[in-house]
Amino acid sequence: MRISDRYIGKQVLYGTLFAILVLSLVLVLGNLFKQIRPLLVDKQAPLWMVLRFVMDVLPFSLMFTIPWGFLTAVLLVFGRLSSDQEITSFRVAGVSLTRLVVPVFVIAALLSAACLWLNMNVVPQAKSSLTDLLYEQARRDPRSLLSPGMVHAGLRDVKFFVEDQSGDSLVGLHLYRIPASAAADAPLDAYLHAERFTFVVDDAKKELRLKLYNASFEAIKPNGSVEIFSAAEAEPYLIPYGAAILEKSKPSAMTNQEITDYLARHTELTPERRVHYQAEITQRYSFSLACLAFAFVAVPLGIQSQRRDSSNGLLLSLLLGTAYFLFTILAHDNKTDAGATLMLWAPNVICVGVGLFLFRRAQYK
């Protein structure tokens, strides 16, 4: 290993680790206060639950912070080397630009392998664990699911409204259900009202049930007629928690094998829905190669910046990272598997193509 390899590799590696640390801290804290604060702070959840939430969110954050941190580090390091004329010194000493960037691509390959392992194994398990955590809180304090005076629409095709709370019971439940396959503006197909209700946790069946008192039900049949009935006490099914939720989970919380098995079992899924699941697998592979793709474009861009201050490199990393991950959002809007695959792989191909062109120009300067 040459001295230049150790010199450049050490700077890129240290810069990447520092950038990952800062970016991960920002993302984790953002998720902590934005998504979980009402549940963990307002409902006074124990400290262990907060710590477990942080550990579950961290792998998901690393999906983005590893390639983004690497991109930032390479831009800053090569921008400084260029501005200090160190690259010119290496080339005068007989070290070509291609040979000079070898440690960068070695680090990029190692980071890509780490990202592949994270995206394939750790991230789905972390998201599944996060789902278990939220339902563990619901099991510990079921009333935290439905706060009085608020409309709750997070339970699939069901919306809840609770009027008030009295001791261990909640008063005035209004439940509205819209068919899962209906359009967003479709009419309701069921309505439930209860004067009072409590929660019943069934650990054996992994279910959380509502125990209703003085309840009335209205259901609209397919022929348009309305069926009305009432009950002094009833326990309709509410929602599963823990491992039982995996069958209905989002594809991001499933491993590749679980997604494949899910698609094989559910042949009734619409083509658009199947594309959504298949795109998740493609996204994991394309994201894993982001570090290698960024290595191609970041080195020549960093050399061309030739500025001592870090604002130029930070701005470039922000623009490139945002543009790269924006393709993911567009990919999920595609209705075909080919279109989603093209959108997910496009940023890698573009980065490599543009990077090779800029490399060629930089070698002859």
The pLDDT tens digits of the residues spanning 228-263 come to: 888 888 876 565 554 444 444 578 778 888 888 888
- Per the model's pLDDT, the better-predicted residue between 272 and 110 turns out to be 110
Maximum pairwise Cα distance, the chain? 90
Over residues 304-314, mean pLDDT:
56
The pLDDT score that the predictor gives to residue 245 is 47
CB contact set of 110 (below 8 Å; sequence gap of 6+): none
At 285, give phi and psi (nearest 5°).
-70, -45
The pLDDT score that the predictor gives to residue 165 is 76
For 28-62, b/e burial (b = at least 16 CB within 10 A) is beebbeeebeebbeebebeeebeebbeebbbbbbb
The pLDDT score that the predictor gives to residue 142 is 63
CA-CA distance, 122 to 109, in Å (whole number)? 19
The pLDDT score that the predictor gives to residue 139 is 65
pTM beyond 0.75, yes or no: no
The pLDDT score that the predictor gives to residue 246 is 44
CB contact set of 301 (below 8 Å; sequence gap of 6+): 75, 316, 320, 358
Residue 196: CB atoms within 10 A of its CB come to 16
The pLDDT score that the predictor gives to residue 311 is 55
- Per the model's pLDDT, the better-predicted residue between 31 and 298 turns out to be 298
Cα 28 vs. chain centroid, distance in angstroms? 12
Give residue-wise pLDDT tens across range 181-222. 444 455 567 888 888 887 777 666 666 777 888 888 887 777
CB hemisphere CA count around 115 (13 angstroms): 27
The pLDDT score that the predictor gives to residue 184 is 47
Residue 19, pLDDT > 80, answer yes
Over residues 137-162, mean pLDDT:
67
What are the C-alpha distances in Å from 160 to residues 140, 168, 233, 329, 359? 20, 18, 19, 30, 58
The pLDDT score that the predictor gives to residue 135 is 62
Kindly report which listed range (70-79, 158-167, 254-263) carries the lowest average pLDDT score. 158-167
The pLDDT score that the predictor gives to residue 292 is 92
The pLDDT score that the predictor gives to residue 147 is 67
- Per the model's pLDDT, the better-predicted residue between 203 and 297 turns out to be 297
Residue 77, pLDDT > 50, answer yes
For the chain, the structural domain boundaries read 3-140+256-363, 146-240
In the chain, the percentage of residues whose pLDDT exceeds 90 is 10
Residue 64, pLDDT > 80, answer yes
Chain-wide mean pLDDT for the chain? 77
Burial class of residue 338 in the structure, from the number of CB atoms within 10 Å of its CB (0-12 exposed, 13-18 middle, 19+ buried): exposed
Residue 123, pLDDT > 80, answer yes
Over residues 52-71, mean pLDDT:
84
The pLDDT score that the predictor gives to residue 110 is 95
The pLDDT score that the predictor gives to residue 70 is 93
- Per the model's pLDDT, the better-predicted residue between 178 and 164 turns out to be 164
Look at residues 238, 248, 235, 240 and name the one whose alpha carbon lies nearest to residue 205: 240
Look at residues 197, 153, 195, 198 and name the one whose alpha carbon lies nearest to residue 176: 153
Residue 84: CB atoms within 10 A of its CB come to 12
The pLDDT score that the predictor gives to residue 168 is 65
The pLDDT score that the predictor gives to residue 308 is 45
Residue 109, pLDDT > 60, answer yes
Q: Is the dihedral of CA 293, 296, 302, 304 positive or negative?
A: negative
The pLDDT score that the predictor gives to residue 303 is 82
What confidence tier does 14 reach under pLDDT thresholds 50, 70, 90? very high
- Per the model's pLDDT, the better-predicted residue between 245 and 227 turns out to be 227
CA-CA distance, 186 to 163, in Å (whole number)? 25
CA-CA distance, 163 to 157, in Å (whole number)? 20
Contact 230, 215 (CB under 8 A): yes
The tokens describing 215, both together, are: 């309840």
At 328, give phi and psi (nearest 5°).
-65, -40
What confidence tier does 178 reach under pLDDT thresholds 50, 70, 90? low
CA-CA distance, 351 to 357, in Å (whole number)? 10
Number of residues assigned to the chain: 365
